[in-house]
Amino acid sequence: MKPYKDDLFAYPGVLELQDNGGFMKVDYQELRDINKRDQVPERRVQRRYVSLKPNRQQRKFDLKSDGRTLETYEIGKASRARFAVIFVHGRGGDRRLGVNDWSFGGNFNRLKNLAVNNGGVYYAPSFSDFSDGGYRGLLSLVDHIAKTSPNAPIVLACGSMGSQLCWRAAHEAALAPRLAGMIILGGQRDDRFLQSEAFRYSRPLLLAHGSQDSVYPWRQQYHLYDRTRQARPDYPVRFVLFETGGHGTPIRMIDWRTSLNWILSQS
């Protein structure tokens, strides 16, 4: 992908590298990475982090399937996209979170710019639940992408409780061939991943977590990373740990360009 404000969004420092770069501990400091980055801490990032040009290609999109409606935003190419990214929010969120230009340090705005500038499409849907209903909605969106951009590899990025949908999708036989990879941001662990279709197809997995996450302890997720490497030492899996970061830190701090480039380069 073409660079986009990489100097502003690059990891501020690497404290530790293991497994030939598979495990990375990133320096995170609230004073620097929130208070000095945001004009209003945790509410509005400084203007230099944001470009609103992608909003010209941002559309509300309601996908109807099986009597249900999935409300989403679609940003970028509506058809024949080079790649697709779907962000699945956590509990209490909706589609507005994934297109908020000013929150989370401007990181969603960067994702929108990367999609638009590189011929991709980005979807930010609303999920009312993370069980059967939400899963059917996610599959309907994947089917939509298969029809409108049949050659686009799909990256699933799931935050917090939304990771339940990512883990479930990993077992979907029809999805695995089209799945480029998954990004789990402060999510749950699911050891069944090693029995999934995504694992069988060697789809890349990137896990990002804060070391002080009080919702899902990071060592549980690291256990999955370690088990995956033990099962297959050459498996494309990475773990990014934000030292002192909390539950929302990975969404704020994940380097989207580096992460997506790594996933897409594996296919």
pLDDT of residue 144: 96
User: Distance between CA 255 and CA 185 in Å, rounded?
Assistant: 12
Q: Which two tokens stand for residue 157?
A: 């990025």
Distance CA 238, CA 229 (A): 10
Mean pLDDT to the nearest integer, 129-139: 94
Q: DSSP secondary-structure letter at 59?
A: E
Tens of pLDDT along 154-188?
A: 999 999 999 999 999 999 999 999 999 999 999 99
Name the pLDDT band for 56 (thresholds 50, 70, 90). very high
pLDDT digits (tens, 9 = 90+) for 200-231: 999 999 999 999 999 999 999 999 999 999 99
Q: What is the mean pLDDT of the chain?
A: 96
Predicted confidence band of residue 66 (pLDDT cuts 50, 70, 90):
confident
- Tens-digit pLDDT profile for residues 144-157: 999 999 999 999 99
Beta strands in 48-194 (DSSP E): 58-65, 68-76, 84-88, 121-125, 154-159, 179-185
Structure tokens at 255: 């380097």
Give the pLDDT score at 67: 82
Distances (CA, A) of 152 to 84, 94, 108, 146, 147: 6, 25, 21, 8, 10
First and final C-alpha spacing in the chain = 15
Which pLDDT belongs to residue 7?
96
Query: What is the pLDDT, as a whole number, of residue 68?
Result: 87
Q: Does 109 have pLDDT greater than 90?
A: yes
pLDDT in tens, 5-45: 999 999 999 999 999 999 999 999 999 999 999 999 999 99
What percentage of residues in the chain have a pLDDT greater than 70?
100
For residue 169, give every residue at least 6 positions away whose Cβ sits within 8 Å of its Cβ, in sequence order, or none.
135, 138, 139, 142, 156, 175, 179, 182, 198
Pairing outcome for strands 44-45 and 38-40: antiparallel
